Structure 1
Amino acid sequence: MDESVVVTPDWLAAHLEDPKLRVVDVRDPWEYDGIGHVPGAVSIPFDSYRDESDVDRGTLPGAAAFADLLSESGIAPDDTIVAYDDTHGVFAARFVLTALEYGHDDVRLLDGDYSAWNRDHETTSEVSELEATTYDPDPLAREESPLVGFEAVEDALERDAVFVDTREEHEFEDARLPSAVRFDWREVVDDETRRLKPEGELEALLAEYGITPDREIVLYCNTARRISHTYVVLRALGYEDVAFYEGSLTEWLANDGEVESGEVE
């Protein structure tokens, strides 16, 4: 796995003293305070970087709001960020995607979650003292961003793209994009270790669904949370042609996009 995208607990433990490393805990504040956290981690709860009112970019908070959040958390644009949660990384992956979209060059996902870290490494309840920064965001241009909108998805339906739906089976059967394949985002996680499965196993698993590096991939779910995890995993595996439908099925249905329903034979 590409360490510039996903890092192991051992990697994080070895770099905790790096003054340019910032560890971000996206769990609820009561978990951060009451259960403990990775030493030096700052609390940036999931809801703080999600904005349902942002009609332009779906649930993204907006560049200025996200920059204010990072500034308050003592994070600078040239810091290395490692994000984690306690839900196999799905909420932390959303933070990674958000930071990338707003131009942060070095942001990574912890392979596993807090429970995986807690098995072999030290935790603390001490809250780190934060020194605010002035964070100037540099959002990706539309042509650089992996995020795509309704019209781009319509165009991709006319090509040989693989549409990957990461939702639950009942959601998939209720309504899905035409020709989509259902891939449960949790399939990439080893239930026992709580970490990602080995690289070779992941590649074989994805290939079973036709999700291969030589294909154009379009990811969607309902509100773009679950696809964040799949997107990060694909990037870590070296996939290059991966589009992220930020509006997902919520936007698609609102625009009367064509859908299929029912069980897949």
Structure 2
Amino acid sequence: MSQNPFLISPGALAEIIGRTGLSIVDASWYLPAQGRHAKAEFEAGHVPGAVFFDQDDIVDPGASLPHTLPPPDVFADKVGALGLCETDTLVVYDGMGLFSAPRVWWMLRTFGARDVRILDGGYPAWIEGGHPVETGPMAPTPRSFTPTFDREAVAGLEDMREFVANGERTIVDARPSDRFSGSVPEPRPGVRSGHMPGSANLPFLQLQENGRLKSESDLRALMEAAGVKPDAPAVTSCGSGVTAAVINLAFETLGNRDVKLYDGSWSEWGAASDTDVESGR
């Protein structure tokens, strides 16, 4: 396994594939503009034994926002149906390398999974390494997932109002710089452009190279250049709560465990009528 305790290399995964207590999760998800279809791609080819984690389905069924974290019992039912158990070693990957897998890595850990890794380089690295591929739909054997919800890992709208008002936590926004600055419109109708007052911008793409998380020294330097203290309490945000988790992964890689994720992210803050929005850098 990689020196980073949250990553596993394709070669290391290939050596242990099929072992009892190992579950593999395809967490691929794409923006509409990307024109890719995650489930169809999964059925066309995936890591042997993997199950498909649908990030548009494993959500709060009563929420109006995209990707809202489900209640613990809903999460447990959904992932249990995928054959996942909180005591397994869970390896998560996506079809872009490092895009949507960190969100599922974060979700699984937030609900009590004890050992969750991200495949370093994702499915592209698996293919590049010449490892075997399985095709067709999944056929998991349901199991029991017992959730232990970590409320402290999640920030809601009222939490964010407090963080903006008192500066208790650094707010780190993973969206591209043009969306953060408000120089381009948001892709979701009814959502204002700009950012939360006092927040810092650290586009998630800056944290990776060829679909792999950058080195600890590079991550630290990038945070400091963005005005983010790597060891200080923080909360991450993005468009809908998916790519924010890339920043959570970076913080945890640097040893910072005091980081929340704003689940509603800009889809919630930018759509609210009573939240302050700034533009510019």
- Identify the residue that residue 209 of structure 1 maps to in structure 2: 226
Question: Do 1:116 and 1:195's aligned partners in 2 also have CA atoms closer than 8 Å?
Answer: no
Report matched runs for 1:203-242 at 5 Å: 203-242=220-259
Q: Which residue of 2 aligns with 1:14?
A: 15
Aligned match of 2:174: 166
Per the TM alignment, residue 2 of structure 1 is displaced from its structure 2 partner at its CA by: 6.0
Paired residues, what number?
257
Query: Can you give the 5+ residue segments of structure 2 that lack an aligned partner in the other structure?
Result: 29-37, 183-193
Q: Is residue 32 of structure 1 aligned with residue 42 of structure 2?
A: yes
Instruction: Quote the sequence identity (%).
Output: 29
State the Cα distance separating 1:110 from its structure 2 match.
Answer: 1.6
CA apart distance, 1:58: 6.5
> Residue 148 of structure 1 corresponds to which residue in structure 2?
155
C-alpha separation between the residues in 2 aligned to 1:97 and 1:153?
A: 19
> How big is the shift at 1:119?
0.6
* 1:70-117 deviation per Cα after TM superposition (whole angstroms, max 9, x unaligned): 222212221111111112322111111221222222222222211112
Judge conservation of contact 2:216–2:253 (CA < 8 Å) in 1. Answer: no
**Would the aligned equivalents of 1:4 and 1:106 in 2 still touch at CA under 8 Å?**
no
Name the CA distance, whole Å, in 2 between partners of 1:75 and 1:244. 23
**Contiguous gaps of at least 5 residues in structure 1:** none
Alpha-carbon RMSD:
2.4
Is 1:139 aligned to residue 149 of structure 2?
Answer: yes
Distance 1:56 1:38, change over 3 A: closer
Distance 1:132 1:238, change over 3 A: same
TM-score (norm 2): 0.82
Contact 1:2-1:237 within 8 A present in 2 as well? no
1:183 Cα deviation (Å)?
Answer: 1.0
1:200 aligns with 2:208: no
CA offsets 1:33-90 (integer angstroms, 9 cap, x no match): 21x1112212223323234633699611332222122222212221111111112322
AA aligned to 1:177 is M
In 1: Cα distance, 2:196 partner to 2:267 partner? 11
Q: Does 1:84 align with 2:93?
A: yes
Q: Report the 3-state secondary structure (helix = DSSP H, G, I; strand = E; otherwise coil) of the residue aligned with 1:93.
A: helix
For residues 243 and 201 of structure 1, the distance between their equivalents in structure 2, rounded to whole angstroms, comes to 22
Q: For residues 275 and 59 of structure 2, what CA distance do their matches in structure 1 show?
A: 25
- Rounded to whole Å, the distance in 2 between the matches of 1:132 and 1:151 is 37
Q: Any conservation in 2 of the 1:6–1:236 contact (CA below 8 Å)?
A: no
Distance 2:66 2:145 in 1: 20
